[in-house]
Amino acid sequence: MTEHPSNRTDESLHARARAAYERRDWERAFELLDTADEQGTLGPEELELLAACARWAGRPDRIVDPLERAHAGHARLGDSEAAIRTALSLCLANSDAGKGGVASTWLTRAGELVRAADDGPSHGSYALFLARARGSEGDVDGQAEAARRALDHAQRHEDKNVEAQAAIELAHVATIRGQRRETLAAIEHAMAIVLGGETGVLETGLVYCNAIWALRRCGEWGRAHEWTDSANRWQHREQVAYFPGLCRVHRAEVLRIRGELAAAEHEATEASSLLAVAIPKFVVVALSELGEIRRRRGDLPGAMDAFRAALEGGWDPQPGLALAVLAQGDPQAAHRGLERMLGNPQPTRLCEDRGNLLAGRVTVAIAAGALDVAEQAVTELEALASASATAWDEATSAQARGELELAQNDARAAVEHLSRARSIWAGLDAPYELATCREILARALVADGDRVGATLELEACASGFERIGANLYKDRARARLGVRPANAQSTSEASLRREGDYWSLTFERRIVRVKHSRGAGYLAHLLANPGQDCWAIDLAGGKRQPGKAADPGDAGEVLDDEARASYRRRLDELREELEEARANHDIGRAEHLTGEMDELGRQLAAAIGLGGRARRAGGAVERARQSVTKAIRGTIKKLGGEHEPLGRYLELAISTGIACRFDPVPRHPVRWRVEFTA
């Protein structure tokens, strides 16, 4: 008959607990030590062991109490090194639990003990924790100074645990500063120690997680993937319940970049559940990643749910949140939210993701019409790319520059930058980024007069989104191609009719009437011209009274009457020559003539506005964008207040800016009948 553990000697109980700990049987070691603790036989060091077993066995609620008693015991015995060690362990445990105030107090306690003690290994540990604290405050210089001090102490006292972690802190600093070579060197330093088996379980896991974080933030997704696989093997071998949640977050990130969005969402969801138990502080990281994955899949309501939960946990999940709000049709709200976040001090870990934040800022600012903000972000992105010299940053900055040039009506330059970005993305195994770049490039090619090239890019874009399951964006790309989604609902009817001083809208069998306004007139024009870019300057110009002087800030007509007539005559001549070339099967001549016609057509289109009126150069463009956007958005908001489904539909379908556009919502096809009867 087996003897009950309580009848065994204390020494036997302790010995069996240590044996279980050595063979990584964390649950058994915890049970034995917990039994011994109930009998009151654990000393300070064994209480530390009990807390460690609680962490690895997935019992976070049982970590703090034994550590507090261990700290008190070491302090009573006058063991300053052990008292500092347990104070720092309590700092980590409370931080993991999301109790930042308590964690800060324990760090202060450790500092007091360090200042009163002779130099020893614990001084390096304290400097390491201080580096992390400075990083959470956004103090990069303070983080670097404390990390270097920790590294010096660790090397003098041959403390490999602190040495590896200090090297990782310096990798974070180098990443923020755009020093790619220094980042990789610091990571290799830390990982060499870990792979040599010179670090403990906790320290090994922390180095893995932080190394992967730094690698992905400096665009080294290939290396991040390799180390993620290595970390997964390690945590499976060690069977610790503390790290799997973080490992699954990193795996989700890698899968997201590789375009395996369904698998990535599964990993992020599981990570959220695991972290909620093991390290509640980091649940927000998993939620932020989950929101970004869902945004890419086109599940905007699901993305907003995850982002909202991250916000409730104290984490602003940008730029994903702003991009999701933008995708729902509210560029101004997206812009305000992102700028508010960027205006506040950020932890240095978030600053490491500066490139991603800046890329999102460019897209959102352009959509909101804040081209000056977009210019600042692009300039900073280009400086980052120059400093880091990574393909990821180069592609990001080239795409951002092209996106801005397109908004500034420099289509030729936009095509050049976007083509370069597309080529780089194609070699990086980043299908979502590649498809997104192709969509912007297609718009630039249209603006540059190359509709054939634009069609090819849009087809590739739609196929790319389809392969990774980004169905919302696939449908939008196909809508631009004039292809209806296979699973689209049947087309419904809607109408907008001018009746004297009012507009009557019929949508989903409900009628709404609004008083005539500039915004209602602009909206009617967009609905009557689906899929067409309508320049804000033209929409605004359409309301000028006959004989009214042109805006004094402009530089006159782009082309005068004589020049426009000359352009048209030449186009007529080219059409005749093209028919002759095709009749003679002269392919080379036909291609040359087509190119000249496209170029003349592009220049003529740029000079002629709505109704054949001459477009004027300079001056009024920005004022028109602001006034037209405000008028349209105001009208949509008013309609949404009367008819919520109509408001949601228009927010999704209508885009505003320098060019305004109505793109029918693929999953809610509506045929609009617009009547401008006064």
Reported as a single tens digit per residue, the pLDDT across 296-325 is 999 999 999 999 999 998 888 999 999 999
Residue 214 confidence (pLDDT):
84
The runs of H, that is alpha helices, within 177-328 are 180-195, 201-217, 221-238, 244-257, 261-278, 283-297, 300-312, 320-327
pLDDT of residue 161: 95
Residue 20 DSSP label: H
Predicted local distance difference test score (pLDDT) of residue 557 = 53
Q: What is the pLDDT of residue 666?
A: 58
3-state helix vs strand vs coil in the chain, percent to 5: 70, 5, 20
Higher pLDDT: 614 or 113? It is 113
* Tokens representing residue 269 in the block: 């969801």
Kindly tell me if the per-residue pLDDT of 551 is higher than 50: no
| 3-state secondary structure (DSSP) of residue 496 | strand
Report pLDDT for 5. 43
Q: Residue 277 is which amino acid?
A: V
In the DSSP assignment, the letter for residue 486 is T
pLDDT in tens, 194-248: 998 999 988 998 899 888 888 877 777 778 878 888 887 887 788 776 776 777 8
Q: What percent of the chain has pLDDT over 70?
A: 83
Structure tokens at 123: 């001084």
Please, which pLDDT band fits residue 10 given cuts at 50, 70 and 90? low
345 prior amide bond cis, ω within 30: no
Q: Give the pLDDT confidence score for residue 559 in this predicted structure.
A: 53
Which pLDDT belongs to residue 403?
96
Written as six digits, the tokens of 603 are 């220049």
Task: Calculate mean pLDDT across residues 97-121.
Answer: 91
Q: What is the pLDDT of residues 615-669, one digit of tens each?
A: 444 446 667 877 888 899 899 988 988 888 888 788 778 887 777 888 876 556 7
Q: What is the mean pLDDT of residues 160-170?
A: 95
pLDDT band at 554 (very low <50, low <70, confident <90, very high): very low
Could you give the CA distance from residue 262 to residue 233 in angstroms, rounded to a whole number? 22
Tokens at residue 14, please? 């302790």
Residue 3 has pLDDT above 70, yes or no: no
pLDDT in tens, 15-28: 898 899 888 898 99
**Which pLDDT band holds residue 439 (cuts at 50, 70, 90)?**
very high
Alpha-helical runs (H) found in 449-512:
451-468, 471-481
Instruction: Tell me the backbone φ, ψ of residue 651, rounded to 5 degrees.
Output: -60, -40
pTM value > 0.75 = no
Amino acid identity for residue 648 in this structure = R
Tokens of 516: 């005539």
At 361-380, the pLDDT tens digits run 999 999 999 999 999 999 99
